[in-house]
Each structure stands twice: as C-alpha cells, then as structure tokens.
C-alpha cells in the first residue's frame, strides 16, 4: 500500500510535537512494510519542488506559495500576517504544485497532520485524485487561524468574529475527509463543536506515545531543595510567567525552578530580567534526557487549552511526576496517581501543591512508584501504529 503523509513541516524543520509524531508515524508505517512518502512545505525562495531522502523515506518539499514561509521565526507586520492568513484559507497556488506530484505518483491513502501553509485546498486536490484522507488533529487550526483560541492572555470562551470569517469554509472542506483522529478527546470534541467533519464517517481519538527503544534510566533525586522543572517554549499561553510569579512567593522555601527552553528574544530577555532570583534558573535549550534527571517534578502551567502536550509523556517516561493545569486535553493523561492537577484561574492551588510537596516528599515518592510501574505504556509504539493501521483498513473498506 502506498501512503502519503502530509505535514506543514518535516525534519530537520521542527516546530513542536506534531513534527515528532508525524516522523514516528512515517517510520512506523514504513517498518510495517508500507511504501511511505512525505509531503511538506518549504521556503518560498525556491522555485521548484525539492526532494530529500530521510530515514529511507522520500520527502517532497513544496515551496510555499504565500508571501513568506512561516517557519522563519522573525516577526512580521500585521498587514503581512493578515494577507498570509487570507491566502491560507484556500491556497489555489499550492494546488498547482501538489498536482505536479500527484500526476507522477500513485497513493492509496493520504494522512494529513498540520495543514498550515497547504490550506484546506489540500483536501480538495486529494479527493480530485480519489485518494481517501485520514486527518490527524493536533491543535485548533481548523477553528482558529493561530491554532490556540487564546487571546489577551486567556482562553476564548467562544470563537471571535475574525476566526469565524477566516474559518467560514473549513467545515465544508473538512467533509472531504474519510476519518478524523484527535490526539486527545478534547481536540476532537472541540473541532466537532464547530461543525467540522459533519459528514466524516470515522471520528475517534488516539493518544500519542513516544518512540524509545528502551526506557531511560531513572535517577532518584535526593536533595534538601525541591527541584521543579519547566521545559518548552517560553510563551504567555504556556503559563511560564504565571509559574514564575508563583515562584516569587516561595523564595523563603527550599524550592528551585529550572527553566529550559527558548522563546521570542524580547520576551525571553524580559523574563530573565524580571525574574532574576536565586530560586529561578534559566538554562536555555536542554536535552530532555539530561533535564529530567535534574528535577523532582515537572510543572506544566498552561493557560491555553493544550491539546496533548508531549512533554508530559516525556516526563512520565523518565519517571518524573507532573504538576499540570486542568485545561484542554491534559486531564486525559495527568491524574492523582501520576501527578497533580490545578485550576490556573486559582493562583493559590499551584502554590499549595508545591508547599505540600516541600513539607512531605512522600507525596511524590508514591507517584514515582506508580509511574515507574506503568511508564511502558507511554512508549507502546507498536500498538500505537496498529491503532492507526486499523483506521487505514477501515477507510479502505468504506
């Protein structure tokens, strides 16, 4: 069977968890004997499709037909961003490029992940070539142009007029999809709430897992200080400043926060200047395998409705409990057995959880034992691939 996997970015261009999940899906299906190709976007400075071979997979990189390639992180003027998003509603120019590839190939199934840059036109052109589509939902891009439904440092209770206009046609085009799979029940339900995939026959969710050949060594950290960790992008929606404010109220206690990750240079420098305290240490980029050996607990203080943060899976695989916001898809993986949940609207809840751990370390020791006994399920990669195989077979039989 010939399978085409489509995602906005593909290695070495990685912006988040979706790229890692897309990569391990491609490799997993290839290892099962399928012929797998990748279709992704590329810098618009190129005039023609570029072809790479990575891990035995053919990767088609289509120069994006928009005013800039969104992987370039430099900030753009608002008028350029608006024009970019208008073009990304239904990008006719991208259709022409994709047709050039589909004219010389033959695919039985297409699996689309993030389609930013391709636009909803990708589904239209695939159906013209009578290729059944499975779409994997990683975020809220089909509901909100910025993919988060987070504005002015809070979650949108309902969709704003701008999002409604920019996503007016998406419910129609989503009906071209044969199966939709959310990486969490939350992200699936949220998309269905806005009338997407109404005519799609298969609607389900499959929690992500991580690909490890073997479980990493667990290091028990025994220190007078409680070491908390934050790893990820330094952005307001991830709640980093919310967490740092909590840490300022705990300077009298034996607790240290290690912050790993990068962000917008201006915002990152602002954080480092404002929170220059002995119990807060900014580390920059860190290899997760080393970072998790340095902390007792990971904190995921998301203010935005994170759909299914892979950093939580990373933490569990390394045997580290998680303190996380009770938002989005997070409660589907964090519970009383493996961590703590708090309401980010209540500033005292997170602080009280940290204080309770400082006073009694046994609270986290019991959770560590549970995680170590169960962490194999977070790397059950073969079952995860088989779950997607089942969707493929169902789509082929529709």
> CA 86 to CA 281: how far, in whole Å?
41
CATH class of the domain at 226-378: alpha beta
Q: Above 90 in pLDDT, residue 110? A: yes
The fold for domain 2-209+380-396 equals Rossmann fold (3.40.50)
Give the residue-averaged pLDDT of 279-302.
94
Give the residue-averaged pLDDT of 272-299.
93
Compare 264 and 326 and report the one with higher pLDDT: 326
Give the residue-averaged pLDDT of 306-313.
94
Least confident of 44-48, 122-126, 294-298, 361-365: 44-48
Give the residue-averaged pLDDT of 328-354.
95
Give the residue-averaged pLDDT of 97-125.
96
Q: Above 70 in pLDDT, residue 262? A: yes
Question: What is the model's pLDDT at position 73?
Answer: 66
pLDDT digits (tens, 9 = 90+) for 27-75: 999 999 999 999 999 998 888 899 999 999 999 999 999 999 988 767 7
Question: What is the model's pLDDT at position 28?
Answer: 95
Give the residue-averaged pLDDT of 218-243.
90
3-state SS, the chain, equals: CEEEEECCCCCCCCCCHHHHHHHHHHHHHHHCCCEEEEEEEECCCCCCCEEEEECCEEEEEEECCCCCCCCCCCCCCHHHHHHHHHHCCCCHHHHHHHHHHHCCCCCCEEEECCCCCCCCHHHHHHHHCCCCEEEEECCCCCCCCCCCCEECCEECCCCCHHHHHHCCCHHHHHCCCCEEEECCHHHHHHHHHCCCCCCCCEEEECCCCCCCCCCCCCCCCCCCCEEEEEECCECHHHCHHHHHHHHHCCCCCCEEEEEECCECHHHHHHHHHHCCCCCEEEEECCCHHHHHHHCCEEEECCCCCCCCCHHHHHHHHCCCCEEEECCCCHHHCCCCCCEEEECCCCHHHHHHHHHHHHHCCHHHHHHHHHHHHHHHHHHCHHHHHHHHHHHHHHHHCC
pLDDT digits (tens, 9 = 90+) for 162-207: 899 999 999 999 999 999 999 999 999 999 999 999 999 999 999 9
Segment holding 151, helix H or strand E? strand 150-151
Q: Compute how many other C-beta atoms are within 10 angstroms of the C-beta atom of residue 31.
A: 14
User: Same CATH topology for 2-209+380-396 and 226-378?
Assistant: yes
Q: What are the sequence ranges of the domains in the chain? A: 2-209+380-396, 226-378
């Amino acid at each position: 069977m010939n399978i085409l996997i489509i995602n906005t970015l593909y290695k070495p261009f990685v912006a988040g968890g979706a790229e890692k999940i897309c990569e391990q899906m491609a490799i997993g299906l290839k290892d099962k004997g399928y012929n797998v190709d990748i279709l992704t976007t590329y810098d618009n400075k190129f005039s023609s499709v570029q072809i790479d071979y990575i891990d035995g997979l053919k990767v088609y990189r289509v120069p994006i037909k928009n005013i800039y390639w969104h992987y370039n992180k430099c900030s753009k003027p608002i008028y350029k961003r608006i024009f970019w998003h208008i073009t990304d509603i239904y990008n006719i120019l991208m259709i022409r490029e994709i047709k050039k590839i589909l004219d010389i190939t033959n695919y039985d199934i297409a699996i689309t992940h993030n389609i930013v840059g391709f636009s909803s036109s990708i589904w239209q052109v695939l159906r013209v070539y009578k290729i059944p589509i499975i779409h994997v939902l990683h975020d809220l891009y089909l509901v909100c142009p910025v993919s988060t439904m987070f504005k002015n440092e809070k979650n949108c209770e309902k969709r704003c007029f701008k999002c409604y206009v920019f996503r007016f046609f998406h419910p129609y085009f989503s009906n071209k999809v044969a199966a939709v799979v959310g990486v969490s029940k939350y992200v699936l339900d949220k998309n269905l709430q806005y009338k997407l995939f109404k005519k799609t026959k298969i609607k389900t969710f499959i929690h992500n897992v991580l690909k490890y050949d073997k479980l990493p060594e667990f290091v028990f950290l025994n220190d007078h200080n409680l070491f908390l960790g934050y790893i990820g992008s330094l952005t307001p929606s991830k709640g980093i400043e919310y967490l740092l404010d909590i840490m300022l109220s705990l300077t009298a206690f034996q607790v240290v926060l290690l912050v790993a990750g990068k962000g917008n240079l201006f915002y990152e420098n602002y954080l480092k200047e404002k929170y220059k305290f002995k119990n807060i240490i900014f580390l920059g980029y860190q290899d997760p395998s080393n970072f998790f050996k340095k902390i007792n607990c990971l904190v995921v203080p998301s203010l935005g409705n994170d759909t299914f943060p892979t950093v939580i899976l990373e933490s569990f695989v390394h045997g580290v409990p998680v303190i996380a916001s009770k938002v989005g898809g997070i409660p589907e993986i964090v519970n009383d057995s493996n961590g703590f949940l708090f309401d980010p609207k209540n500033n005292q809840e997170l602080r009280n959880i940290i204080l309770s751990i400082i006073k009694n370390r046994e609270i986290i020791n019991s959770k560590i034992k549970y995680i170590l006994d169960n962490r194999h399920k977070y790397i059950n990669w073969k079952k995860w691939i088989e779950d997607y195989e089942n969707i493929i077979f169902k789509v082929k039989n529709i």
